[in-house]
Amino acid sequence: MGSSVPASSQQPRWDRINSAVVIAQARQIYFHFLARCAGQNDPLGVVITEPRSGQGRVVFELPVLLPEEQFIPLELVRGRSGRSRSARSPYRG
């Protein structure tokens, strides 16, 4: 199934936002969802609807975004799970 929303519009505009703040907001929304709705299917990501207040929602399909909204994919919300500390180079200090 295809989406009528271009993939480029689904990527956060990193040049317009503070990525650390937005990802932290998305994590808070996602973990709140997990606490309330454990056992449901994994969402695709989080939409930050109010960047200043950190309000948003978990989404299960690609959203159509308003200009001030940001979609944060679940991979960014969960963090770098594919890389562990033991995978670091032994040559780094």
Tens digit of pLDDT for each residue in 29-58? 999 999 998 777 889 999 999 888 889 999
Residue 8, pLDDT score: 45
Helices (H), ranges, the chain: 19-36, 74-78
Query: Could you give the percent of the chain with pLDDT greater than 70?
Result: 67
What does the DSSP 8-state code read for residue 89?
A: -
- Residue 3 pLDDT grade (very low, low, confident, very high; cuts 50, 70, 90): very low
**Sign (positive/negative) of CA torsion 24, 30, 32, 34?**
negative
Residue 27, pLDDT score: 94
CA distance 68 to 65: 8
- What is the gyration radius of the CA atoms in the chain, in angstroms? 15
Residue 7 has pLDDT above 50, yes or no: no
Whole-model pTM over 0.85: no
Going from the C-alpha of 43 to that of each of 18, 51, 75, 84, 85, the distances in angstroms are: 23, 20, 10, 24, 27
| Residue 26: CB atoms within 10 Å | 26
Residue 45, pLDDT score: 94
Residue 20, pLDDT score: 85
